[in-house]
């Protein structure tokens, strides 16, 4: 019997990107792939009308399911609606402005089955809106997939984003799924999966392209700031898993994120304040993180060139 994989795609205010996303899923080498598009636009909005018009082009595909929320729910609850509507044995997730490369579903499912996993996560390519490669974001620090070890790495580095996850649908349905939080939904989900003792594996490849742009992103403004502060409070509940040096690193990352968030929000004084706290928290980490960014970019270019 074939194993079906459902890809959940919540969409809001991005009908101009959505077609590219769906087309990447229709191009998957794994044929038993179901696509569940969850329209989270307001019913009377131009984006709802444009999304409806676009989805008519996909009515001919039996494996494309289109559902509409009665009112905007947000990304997390919309993904939960998609999980409930899905019929797959496994679920994955893709934002409406990103794409899967053709082998994504097939290779990750094979990894899941081979290792009898409840959940897995991969690396991800980060591109600018014009398609230029920025970074190959890897989790190469993961060498132990025990529950405690993954908790430590999640606190230190964040085992994200959502598009890298594949989960047994029966397992995620046994939990509360995604939380209704304004940002960090992927962080909260991984946290909750580990809290439920999901047997989780890391698959060190990327068949995902995540695009960075300013359209409708929550990386600006108070959502990002408040969300980051909430995540820091969550991490503090398990700091006993970390060494003193690792706790300093968590503090460093927290301040660094706030520095960038305030800078992008047009609050330079706040950005300067947290920038200073970032350096004071761990001067060595500032240098190390910058060097790692350069290494990741070089690795990304090498990976792309090797595939040509």
| pLDDT tens per residue, range 63-116 | 999 999 999 999 999 999 999 999 999 999 999 999 999 999 999 999 999 999
**Average pLDDT across the chain, whole number:** 91
**Structure confidence by residue, pLDDT tens digits, 114-143:** 999 999 999 999 999 888 888 899 999 999
pLDDT value at residue 135: 87
| Residue matched to tokens 């307001």 | 42
SS3 of residue 105 by DSSP: helix
With 0.95 as the threshold, say if the pTM is over it.
no
**Structure confidence by residue, pLDDT tens digits, 135-172:** 899 999 999 999 999 999 999 999 999 999 999 999 99
Q: With pLDDT > 70 as the criterion, what percentage of the chain qualifies? A: 89
Domains of the chain: 5-212 (3.90.550.10), 222-307 (no CATH)
- Listing DSSP states for 165-223 in one string gives -EEEHHHHHTS--S---SS-HHHHHHHHHHHTT--EEEE----EEEEE-SSS-SSSSHH
């Amino acid at each position: 019997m074939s194993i079906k994989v459902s890809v959940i795609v919540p969409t809001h205010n991005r009908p101009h990107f959505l077609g590219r996303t769906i087309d990447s899923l229709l191009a998957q080498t794994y044929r038993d792939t179901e696509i569940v598009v969850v329209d989270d636009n307001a019913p009377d909005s131009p984006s709802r009308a444009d999304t409806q018009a676009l989805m008519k082009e996909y009515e001919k595909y039996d494996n494309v399911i289109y559902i509409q929320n009665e009112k905007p729910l947000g990304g997390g609850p919309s993904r939960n609606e998609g999980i409930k509507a899905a019929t797959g044995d496994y679920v994955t997730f893709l934002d409406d402005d990103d794409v899967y490369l053709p082998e994504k579903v097939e290779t990750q499912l094979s990894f899941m089955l081979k290792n009898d996993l409840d959940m897995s996560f991969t690396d991800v390519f980060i591109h600018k809106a014009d398609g230029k490669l920025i970074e190959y974001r890897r989790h190469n620090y993961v060498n132990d997939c025990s529950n405690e070890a993954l908790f430590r790495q999640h606190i230190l580095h964040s085992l994200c984003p959502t598009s890298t996850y594949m989960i047994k649908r029966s397992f995620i349905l046994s939990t509360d799924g995604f939380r209704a939080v304004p940002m960090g939904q992927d962080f909260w989900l991984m946290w909750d999966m580990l809290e439920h003792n999901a047997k989780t594996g890391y698959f060190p490849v990327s068949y995902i392209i995540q695009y960075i742009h300013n359209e409708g992103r929550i990386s600006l403004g108070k959502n990002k700031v408040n969300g980051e502060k909430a995540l820091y409070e969550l991490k503090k509940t398990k700091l006993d898993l970390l060494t003193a040096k690792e706790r300093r690193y968590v503090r460093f990352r927290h301040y660094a994120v706030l520095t960038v968030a305030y800078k992008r929000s047009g609050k330079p004084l706040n950005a300067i304040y947290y920038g200073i706290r970032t350096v004071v928290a761990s001067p060595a980490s500032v240098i190390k993180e910058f060097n790692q960014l350069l290494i990741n970019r070089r690795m990304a270019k090498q990976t792309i060139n090797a595939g040509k």
